[in-house]
Structure 1
């Protein structure tokens, strides 16, 4: 069953964050989510396997009760975690990210990459822990993220710029060079993933990390 197409309808806005084939599963998730006092904010569009989805920047719904969430089928639980990874509360975003980051579903990837471009350091660290395959050439995780970035170059470029901005604003005192910042390390892993997919260098929108050779005195 398709959800309403009225863009003022909150159910439609949240359903638009996922491929159309998941409409029934999204409907099941929305049935257990409490209503929010505020509408979802500022969706961003990305392509997932040839289909455009529009993911809200923030949602404001309280979490459903743990018993209700546990009764959802597996796919619906992942959808729930994806939606709450967009929550206005950073602790909630981190908790739900940790439950979805290892998923191999292509429609999960944009939720994870978007979080890589946000300001909570613990979330960046949780992404790195949850994606060990990013550092393994030929791994399914590396292929999954490489394919997504190759399909969404503008989105990844925007993510890069956000990572640099948040490092400069909040974390430069702790990480004196961008290359030591966890967000930079994560971006380099994403870049390696897309280079492996396309077979050519990928455009860079961040300071280039120093190498051992760069730091060696001449």
Structure 2
């Protein structure tokens, strides 16, 4: 449970979601264990017209299943978003798998941020969850396209991170960037941005 001294930390995590969700976020934080370490290095993006500040990492222990089941559907999705920022990669993947197929605009930055991290299995989980992304007119494609259109700098940084992690960790397995799962995912996200804006989208990755 949150301790009285955790008020500032709670406010930091409430800021990771649009204002309309504040009461639901606080309900989730009320049942989460106190953090051993404060949230690390928030990154700012726009969800719709509202700026949010999402932590790069959190350090709370996971909740028992029965506590999670007592939350509403929206609150469970908020919890999974927060734990997708956990310091343990296996925890991140477990919770990502619960939100990767969500069409909620406020879940999108949590998923896209993970696309720019180093765990190959997480990339594969994202692709599995975004099964509607290849299809023009799907809610998923429209939602992700809108997010990227509003956050071009964030998406450019994500592209560069994908290339960097491929080059550092996976080039031996995928000698050509075009064969790397992260490349395929970026191409789908870029296509969604093109659909949303009706114009060519800058590329920050190798052509093959």
Shorter chain as denominator, the TM-score bin is over 0.9
CA deviations 1:168-192 (Å, max 9, x no partner) are: 0000000001110000110000001
CA deviations 1:107-140 (Å, max 9, x no partner) are: 0000000000000000000000001111111111
| Alpha-carbon distance between aligned partners in 2 of 1:208 and 1:105, rounded to the nearest angstrom | 31
Contact 2:101 2:131 in 1 (8 A): no
| Alpha-carbon distance between aligned partners in 1 of 2:182 and 2:20, rounded to the nearest angstrom | 33
| Alpha-carbon distance between aligned partners in 2 of 1:103 and 1:140, rounded to the nearest angstrom | 10
Residue 96 of structure 2 corresponds to which residue in structure 1? 97
Residue 47 of structure 1 corresponds to which residue in structure 2? 46
Contact 2:42 2:54 in 1 (8 A): yes
SS at match of 2:44: strand
Residue 86 of structure 1 corresponds to which residue in structure 2? 85
Residue 61 of structure 1 corresponds to which residue in structure 2? 60
Counting matched residue pairs gives 203
SS at match of 1:133: coil
Residue 9 of structure 1 corresponds to which residue in structure 2? 8
Shift of 1:36: 1.1
SS at match of 2:40: coil
Residue 187 of structure 2 corresponds to which residue in structure 1? 188
Correspondence list, 1:138-153, <5 A: 138-153=137-152
| Alpha-carbon distance between aligned partners in 1 of 2:82 and 2:64, rounded to the nearest angstrom | 15
Residue 172 of structure 2 corresponds to which residue in structure 1? 173
Shift of 1:8: 7.8
| Alpha-carbon distance between aligned partners in 1 of 2:109 and 2:68, rounded to the nearest angstrom | 22
**Moved >6 Å (runs of 4+):** none
- Listed as ranges, the gaps of 5+ residues in structure 1 are 1-6, 210-218
Residue 205 of structure 1 corresponds to which residue in structure 2? 204
Residue 24 of structure 2 corresponds to which residue in structure 1? 25
| Alpha-carbon distance between aligned partners in 2 of 1:56 and 1:112, rounded to the nearest angstrom | 13
Instruction: Quickly say closer, same or farther: Cα 1:52–1:64, change in 2 above 3 A.
Output: same
Shift of 1:65: 1.3
Contact 2:145 2:189 in 1 (8 A): yes
| Alpha-carbon distance between aligned partners in 1 of 2:125 and 2:41, rounded to the nearest angstrom | 25
SS at match of 1:47: strand
SS at match of 1:46: strand
| Alpha-carbon distance between aligned partners in 1 of 2:90 and 2:22, rounded to the nearest angstrom | 28
TM-score relative to the length of structure 2: 0.96
| Alpha-carbon distance between aligned partners in 2 of 1:98 and 1:37, rounded to the nearest angstrom | 25
Shift of 1:194: 0.5
Correspondence list, 1:117-128, <5 A: 117-128=116-127
